[in-house]
Structures are given as structure tokens and as C-alpha cells.
Structure 1
Amino acid sequence: MSIPVLICDDSALARKQVKKSLPAEWDVEVQFATNGKEALDILRNQQIGVTFLDLTMPEIDGVAVLEANHAEKLVDFIIVVSADIQPEMQKRVIELGALAFIQKPVNTTKLKEILQQYGLL
């Protein structure tokens, strides 16, 4: 049975790059959101197994999505994918419940290690 995956990023190129970085052997069904508002609508109305979340987006940013997820317990597995690599931001997203922080562009080896670490692959 495939795992429902949500990739949320305001950049179409970034969304495609994250999808392309997913392990070929991972049985997933991918959906996309172009901002945090769309992501929260999907998370509140559908069962999503894993979310890949950008931080800097219009309308609602990734931190606000993490805060809402933390309060509402919408999804267990969120991996932040961002170019914002400041240590303070990395610490904050982990405190808000993100499993991991991956710098853009996604390193496929690191992503696979994270998925294996949490038993997702």
C-alpha cells in the first residue's frame, strides 16, 4: 500500500526536485501544495503519511504550518526542506516536531538515511 506524501513548496522547480529525490523503491502517492495554507487544508482533510515542507512561502509559511501541526496533531512525519540553514531555525523546527531538516537541493543519500532511520522506507 502506498504512503500518501505531501510536498509543500511555493517553487514548482523545488517541488519537482524533492519528488525526484524520493527513493525509487519507496511506494508513495505524491500530492503538492504551493503554500502553507494549501498544505494545512490538505493535512486537515486527508490522511498524509509524510510531509516535505519548505519554510519560506507566501500566505502561511512553514513555521506556521509546523505550529498548527504541533497544536492539532495533523501528521506524524514532517521533514523540512529549506535553503534557510540558520542553526536557530533548524533548532526551532525540530522543537516544533519536524523529524529532520534537509538543505536545498535535497541530498538523496541523506533523505534515504532519514527515511530509514524512522522506519518509513
Structure 2
Amino acid sequence: MAINVTIADDSKMSRKSVMRALPDEWDVNIHEATNGKEAIVNYAQGLADVMFLDLTMPEMDGFQVLEHLHEIDAKSVVIVISADIQPYAQERVKQLGAASFIQKPLDPAQLKHVLHGVGLL
């Protein structure tokens, strides 16, 4: 059965980059969100078993999305993909329940390694 994946990033180019990096053997239905509010809506609609989340977005940033998901004890696996590589940012997303943090630009081999590491492949 296919896994519902939401890619949340305000950059269309970044969303497409994540889509292209997903392993061919991974059976997924891909959904997009252009801001944090859309990401939350996707989760509420059951479209985010896995969420790839940027930190810098309009409306609601990635930290706010993680805080919301943490508050409601969401069962989504969240992997943050961000250019914000500050140690504070990485520590904060882990505290809020992110399964992993990947630095932009996205490397497909690193993504596959992370997916194996969190038990999704």
C-alpha cells in the first residue's frame, strides 16, 4: 500500500527536487504544501504519513508545524530539509519530534540513507 507523503516547502523548485530524489522503489502518493498551514491541513486529511518539511515558509514556518504536530501527538514521520544548518535549529527540530534533518541542497543518496535509518525503506 502506498505511503502518503507531503512535501512542504514554499519553493516549487525545492519541492520538485525532493520529488526527484525519492527512491524509485518507494511506493508513495505525493502531496504538496506551499506553507506550514497547508502542511497541517494535509496532515489532518491523512495525506502526511511522512512529511518533508522546510523550516522557512510563509504563513506558518516549519518550527510552528513541528510544534503543532508535537502538541497533537501526530503520528507522521517528519524529515526536515533546510538550508538553516545552525546547531540550534537542528537541536530544536529533534526536540519537536523530527525524525531527521537533511541540509539543502538535497543529496538523493543522503535522503535514501535517512529513509533507511528511520525504517521507511
Give the aligned residue type for 1:22: L
**1:96 is aligned to 2:102:** no
Three-state SS of the structure 2 residue aligned to 1:19 is helix
Structure 1 residue runs of 5 or longer lacking an equivalent are: none
Matched residue, 1:11: 11
Q: RMSD of the alignment, in Å?
A: 1.0
TM-score when normalising by structure 2: 0.96
Give the aligned residue type for 1:108: P
Contact between 2:6 and 2:47, CA under 8 Å: does it hold in 1?
no
Q: In the aligned structure 1, how far is the partner of 2:20 from the partner of 2:57? A: 21
Matched residue, 2:68: 68
**1:58 is aligned to 2:58:** yes
Structure 2 residue runs of 5 or longer lacking an equivalent are: none
1:110 positional shift: 1.2
TM-score when normalising by structure 1: 0.96
Three-state SS of the structure 1 residue aligned to 2:120 is coil
Q: In the aligned structure 2, how far is the partner of 1:54 from the partner of 1:69? A: 15
Matched residue, 1:117: 117
1:29 positional shift: 0.6
**1:82 is aligned to 2:82:** yes
1:47 positional shift: 4.6
Contact between 1:43 and 1:75, CA under 8 Å: does it hold in 2?
no
Three-state SS of the structure 2 residue aligned to 1:90 is helix
Give the aligned residue type for 2:21: S
User: Matched residues, percent identical?
Assistant: 52
Can you list the C-alpha shifts for 1:65-108, whole angstroms capped at 9, x where unaligned? 00000001233300000011101100000110001110111111
Q: In the aligned structure 2, how far is the partner of 1:80 from the partner of 1:105? A: 12
1:6 positional shift: 0.3
Three-state SS of the structure 2 residue aligned to 1:111 is helix
Three-state SS of the structure 1 residue aligned to 2:30 is strand
Matched residue, 2:43: 43
